[in-house]
């Protein structure tokens, strides 16, 4: 039997996730909570869609002038006393980080949450030179103890329930801790306090980098990033090259969009703006500060008409919470650092070797919920379709799927063929429908019906119901006031293709 470590395809990993009752319940519970929180926060905001559009315009403008704003940011940051480095590849970013750690003779590094360092597998690299890397975000700390990777962009341990967390923390504590969230959080808080005080280096990611002043901004809810950026004497920030925004005024829009989209909060609990190392007048802060700006495949998306908008992503995770596939299988099934709809597009886009990752574009129902949820309106569903097409064009598709799609196109291209197939389907399903659904676990239905029931075709199709409705409407018109009738008739005629705005 395959295990999480040996499963090599999305399908195998998804199957493991679907068989894991704890994981499914935990992921469903939290994504629903986050999704509802976001829905409420965006409704209360009042003109959410206008702000989404503002966010999108800021990101489009910044990415279109990325070289200009990166240059401005780097110059300003250097003027503030920060050492700015550019890393083209993952290996370069790792090398730069390790060189700093070695020069500082560091024994331990405390880290606040950073997806870029996950992308670089930096913890492992630090440990290979004898430097202890300690995650200080509660979720990251939990999965570090479990020896796992994050399964959600903002809730890394979303797949674990509090009983599993209590087991992990009890092992660390050497005593049994009750599965009570305040007891568990209290244990971690005490444990991490010691680590903050001992650490030689603080390492962070970066939510936004402000070009006009060379500042970096961190959003967090636990206060751990403040400890990471104030206690150790040296600070290293690793940021994806697309994290830039032009000004503090633009941050206002992002600070409105990001927390609401991520967790439904109107404001993040702690928002820290950091502009250089400690000055003489400052009570705390690092004496030495480095920013490593990481490309690692991002520039492959620049100028690409299909993928450039990926660089607009502000890593809020809303598309994961909205995605019906992610909500069933969690993040590990995607196999890369980034999961959910954004991961299904970003992972192949960041890789030169798409063949290895082309399957994850299939882990989507193409319903467009990710686009609806996205605060900067990234058309992820279009990108997923493009990836599927590219997979076929590059010869990675399978013959059965190709034949199936050709058949689907032939049927959907003709209303007669479609109606004929529906009739045939209604006759055929009589053999397999039980209790209102198809439960057969054979052939192409096996995967779907193992975990759910395929609904049967209704007695009357939408088209048939629509026809009846139209007849009734025509009949009912006779009873109407002549003026209303002539207007309604115009609509019905429009439906017939004789004019008007028909939707037939
Ligand atoms: S694609 Fe959009 S919704 Fe998904 S993480 Fe990025 S910004 Fe958030």
Residues 134 and 85 in one domain: yes
The total number of structural domains that make up the chain:
3
Cβ of 378 below 6 Å from ligand 1: yes
- CATH code assigned at 170: 3.40.50.10420
Among 256, 275, 300, where does a domain finish? 300
In a domain, 281, yes or no: yes
Cβ of 35 below 6 Å from ligand 1: no
Among 270, 300, 330, where does a domain finish? 300
Distance, in Å, from the CA atom of 24 to the CA atom of 30, rounded to the nearest integer, reads: 10
Residues 484 and 415 in one domain: no
Output the CA–CA distances (angstroms, integers) from residue 235 to 11, 78, 187, 296, 415, in the order listed: 41, 15, 26, 21, 64
Residues 112 and 176 in one domain: yes
Task: Answer for the pair 181, 162: CB distance below 8 angstroms, yes or no.
Answer: yes
Distance, in Å, from the CA atom of 431 to the CA atom of 184, rounded to the nearest integer, reads: 54
In a domain, 100, yes or no: yes
Residues 185 and 133 in one domain: yes
Residues 93 and 218 in one domain: yes
In a domain, 471, yes or no: yes
Distance, in Å, from the CA atom of 314 to the CA atom of 242, rounded to the nearest integer, reads: 9
Global pTM reads 0.86
* DSSP H or E segment with residue 429: helix 415-429
Cβ of 311 below 6 Å from ligand 1: no
In the block, tokens 């439906």 appear at 495
In a domain, 250, yes or no: yes
Residues 188 and 262 in one domain: yes
**How close is the Cα of 262 to the center of ligand 1, in Å?**
9
HEC assignment per residue over 226-285: HHHHHCCCEEEEEEECCCEECCHHHHHHHHHHHHHHHHCCCCCCEEEEECCCCCCCCCCC
Cβ of 318 below 6 Å from ligand 1: yes
What are the pLDDT tens digits along the chain (504 aa)?
555 556 778 888 998 998 999 999 999 999 999 999 999 999 999 999 999 999 999 999 999 999 999 999 999 999 999 999 999 999 999 999 999 999 999 999 999 999 999 999 999 999 999 999 999 999 999 999 999 999 999 999 999 999 999 999 999 999 999 999 999 999 999 999 999 999 999 999 999 999 999 999 999 999 999 999 999 999 999 999 999 999 999 999 999 999 999 999 999 999 999 999 999 999 999 999 999 999 999 999 999 999 999 999 999 999 999 999 999 999 999 988 999 999 999 988 877 556 666 678 888 889 999 999 999 999 999 999 988 888 888 877 778 888 888 899 999 999 899 989 988 988 888 888 888 888 888 877 887 888 788 889 988 888 888 877 777 777 776 666 677 767 767 776 665 444 333 333
Range of the domain at 469: 462-492
What's the half-sphere exposure (Cβ side, CA atoms, 13 Å) at 448? 12
Residue 498 pLDDT: 42
Cβ of 260 below 6 Å from ligand 1: no
**How close is the Cα of 324 to the center of ligand 1, in Å?**
15
Residues 75 and 204 in one domain: yes
Residues 444 and 477 in one domain: no
φ/ψ bin of 214: left (φ > 0), alpha (ψ from -120 to 50), beta (otherwise):
left
Residue 6 pLDDT: 63
**How close is the Cα of 346 to the center of ligand 1, in Å?**
11
Task: Answer for the pair 201, 101: CB distance below 8 angstroms, yes or no.
Answer: yes
φ/ψ bin of 429: left (φ > 0), alpha (ψ from -120 to 50), beta (otherwise):
alpha
In a domain, 145, yes or no: yes
Residues 167 and 117 in one domain: yes
In the block, tokens 């070695």 appear at 102
In a domain, 318, yes or no: no
In a domain, 315, yes or no: no
Residues 218 and 252 in one domain: yes
**38 three-class SS:** helix
Residues whose CB is less than 8 angstroms from the CB of residue 332 and which lie 6 or more positions away in sequence, other chains included: 4, 13, 17, 148, 149, 151, 159, 339
Question: Across-strand partners of 132?
Answer: 108
Cβ of 333 below 6 Å from ligand 1: no
Among 300, 328, 358, where does a domain finish? 300
**84 three-class SS:** strand
N-terminal to C-terminal alpha carbon distance within the chain: 51
Cβ of 241 below 6 Å from ligand 1: no
In a domain, 499, yes or no: no
Kindly report the protein residue whose alpha carbon is nearest to atom 2 of ligand 1: 374
**How close is the Cα of 277 to the center of ligand 1, in Å?**
31
Distance, in Å, from the CA atom of 492 to the CA atom of 117, rounded to the nearest integer, reads: 60
**157 three-class SS:** coil
Cβ of 376 below 6 Å from ligand 1: yes
**How close is the Cα of 96 to the center of ligand 1, in Å?**
29
Residues 287 and 436 in one domain: no
Residues 478 and 431 in one domain: no
Length, in residues, of the chain: 504
């Amino acid at each position: 039997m395959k295990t999480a470590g040996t499963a090599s395809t999305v399908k195998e990993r998804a199957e493991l996730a679907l068989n894991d009752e704890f994981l499914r319940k935990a992921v469903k519970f939290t994504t629903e909570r986050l999704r509802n929180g976001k829905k409420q926060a965006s409704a209360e905001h009042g003109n959410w869609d206008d702000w989404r559009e503002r966010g999108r315009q800021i990101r489009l403008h910044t990415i279109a002038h990325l070289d200009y704003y990166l240059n401005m940011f780097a110059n300003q940051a250097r003027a503030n006393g920060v050492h700015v480095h550019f890393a083209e590849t993952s290996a370069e970013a790792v090398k730069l980080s390790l060189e700093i750690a070695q020069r500082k003779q560091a024994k331990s590094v405390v880290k606040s949450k950073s997806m870029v360092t996950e992308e670089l597998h930096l913890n492992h690299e630090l440990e290979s030179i004898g430097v202890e890397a300690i995650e200080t975000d509660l979720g990251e700390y939990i999965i570090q103890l479990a020896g796992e990777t994050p399964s959600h962009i903002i809730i890394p341990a979303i797949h674990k329930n509090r009983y599993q967390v209590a087991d992990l923390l009890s092992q660390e504590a050497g005593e049994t801790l009750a599965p009570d969230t305040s007891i568990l959080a209290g244990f971690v808080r005490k444990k991490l306090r010691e680590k903050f005080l001992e650490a030689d280096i603080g390492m962070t990611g970066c939510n936004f980098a402000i070009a006009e002043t060379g500042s970096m901004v961190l959003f967090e809810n636990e206060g751990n990033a403040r400890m990471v950026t104030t206690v150790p004497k040296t600070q290293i920030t690793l940021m994806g090259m697309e994290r830039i925004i032009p000004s503090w005024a633009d941050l206002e829009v992002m600070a409105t969009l990001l927390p609401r989209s991520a967790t439904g909060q109107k404001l993040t609990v702690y928002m820290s703006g950091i502009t250089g190392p400690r000055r003489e007048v400052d009570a705390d802060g690092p004496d030495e500060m480095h920013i490593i700006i990481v490309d690692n495949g991002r520039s492959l998306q620049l100028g690409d008409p299909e993928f450039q908008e990926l660089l607009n992503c502000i890593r809020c995770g809303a598309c994961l919470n909205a995605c019906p596939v992610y909500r069933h299988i969690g993040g590990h099934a995607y196999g890369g650092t980034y999961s959910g709809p954004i991961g299904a597009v970003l992972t192949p886009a960041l890789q030169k070797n798409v063949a290895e990752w082309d399957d994850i574009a299939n882990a989507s129902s193409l319903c467009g919920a990710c686009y609806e949820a996205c605060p900067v309106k990234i058309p992820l569903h279009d990108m997923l379709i493009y990836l599927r097409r590219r997979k076929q064009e590059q010869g990675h598709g399978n013959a059965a799927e190709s034949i199936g799609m050709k058949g689907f196109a032939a049927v959907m291209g003709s209303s007669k063929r479609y109606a004929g197939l529906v009739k045939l389907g209604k006759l055929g399903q009589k053999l397999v429908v039980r209790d209102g659904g198809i439960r057969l676990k054979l052939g192409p239905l096996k995967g779907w019906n193992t975990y759910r029931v395929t609904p049967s075709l209704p007695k009357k199709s939408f088209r048939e119901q629509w026809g009846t409705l139209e007849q009734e409407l025509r009949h009912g018109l006779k009873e109407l006031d002549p003026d209303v009738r002539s207007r309604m008739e115009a609509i019905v005629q429009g439906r017939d293709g004789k004019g008007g705005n028909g939707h037939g």
